[in-house]
Structure 1
Amino acid sequence: MLPAPLLTPGEIKAAADRIAGHIRPVAVAQAAPGHFLALEFMQHTGSFKARGAMNFLLAHREAGLLPDAGLTIASGGNAGLACAWAAREHGVRATVFLPQTAPPVKVARLRAYGAEVRLTGARYDEARAACEEFAAASGALASHAYDHPLVSAGAGTLTDEVVDRVPDGVDTLVVSVGGGGLFAGVATAALERGIEVVAVEPENCRALHAALAAGRVVDSAVDSVAADSLGAPRVSQSALDTARRAGVRPVLVPDAAIVRARQQLWDERRLVVEHAAATAYAYAPQPGERTAVVLCGANTGLADLV
Structure 2
Amino acid sequence: MDWKTEIDAAAARIAPHMLRTPVIRITGPNLPGEVELKLEQMQHTGSFKARGAFNTLISRPVPEAGLVAASGGNHGAAVAYAAREMGHKVHVFVPEMAGPSKIALIRDTGADLTVVPGEYANAMQQAQAFEVETGAMQIHAYDADPTVAGQGTCLREWEEQGLQADTVLIAVGGGGLIAGSLAWLAGARKVVAVEPETSCALHAARAAGVPVDVEVSGVAANALGARRIGRICFEQAVRWDVQSILVSDTAITAAQVALWRMLRQLVEPAGATALAALMSGAYVPAPDERVAVLVCGGNVAPDPFRGG
Of the three residues 169, 175, 181, the one matched with 2:170 is 175
Of the three residues 186, 190, 196, the one matched with 1:202 is 196
Deviation at 1:267, TM superposition (A): 1.4
Q: Work out whether 1:19 is the aligned partner of 2:17.
A: no
Match of 2:26 in 1: 31
Output the CA distance in 1 between the equivalents of 2:73 and 2:193.
21
Match of 1:55 in 2: 55
Output the CA distance in 1 between the equivalents of 2:206 and 2:172.
13
Output the CA distance in 2 between the equivalents of 1:137 and 1:276.
33
Spell out, residue by residue over 1:232-258, the C-alpha distance to the aligned partner (whole angstroms, 9 max, x if none). 111111111111234632212222211
Deviation at 1:7, TM superposition (A): 6.9
Alpha carbons of structure 1 residues 166 and 70: separation in structure 2 relative to 1, 3 Å: same
Indicate the SS of the match to 1:155: helix
Q: Work out whether 1:249 is the aligned partner of 2:243.
A: yes
TM-score (norm 2): 0.88
Match of 2:30 in 1: none
Match of 2:179 in 1: 184
Deviation at 1:290, TM superposition (A): 1.4
Output the CA distance in 2 between the equivalents of 1:52 and 1:7.
17
Indicate the SS of the match to 1:225: coil
Match of 2:275 in 1: 281
Of the three residues 216, 220, 235, the one matched with 1:222 is 216
Of the three residues 228, 236, 252, the one matched with 1:234 is 228
Deviation at 1:99, TM superposition (A): 4.2
- Greater Cα offset, 227-236 or 40-49: 227-236
Match of 2:102 in 1: 106
Asked if the contact 2:74/2:102 (under 8 Å) is kept, the reply is no
Q: Give the aligned residue type for 2:289.
A: E
Structure 2, unaligned runs of 5 or more: 28-32, 279-283
Aligned length: 293
Asked if the contact 1:211/1:217 (under 8 Å) is kept, the reply is yes
Spell out, residue by residue over 1:82-140, the C-alpha distance to the aligned partner (whole angstroms, 9 max, x if none). 01000000111011123467644433322221201134455544433332222122211
Q: CA RMSD in A?
A: 2.1
Spell out, residue by residue over 1:145-172, the C-alpha distance to the aligned partner (whole angstroms, 9 max, x if none). 11111111111101121122236x2211
Structure 1, unaligned runs of 5 or more: 1-5
Asked if the contact 2:24/2:38 (under 8 Å) is kept, the reply is yes
TM-score (norm 1): 0.89
Match of 1:40 in 2: 40
Output the CA distance in 1 between the equivalents of 2:180 and 2:226.
17
Match of 2:281 in 1: none
Deviation at 1:302, TM superposition (A): 5.7
Q: What is the percentage of aligned positions where both structures have the same residue?
A: 44
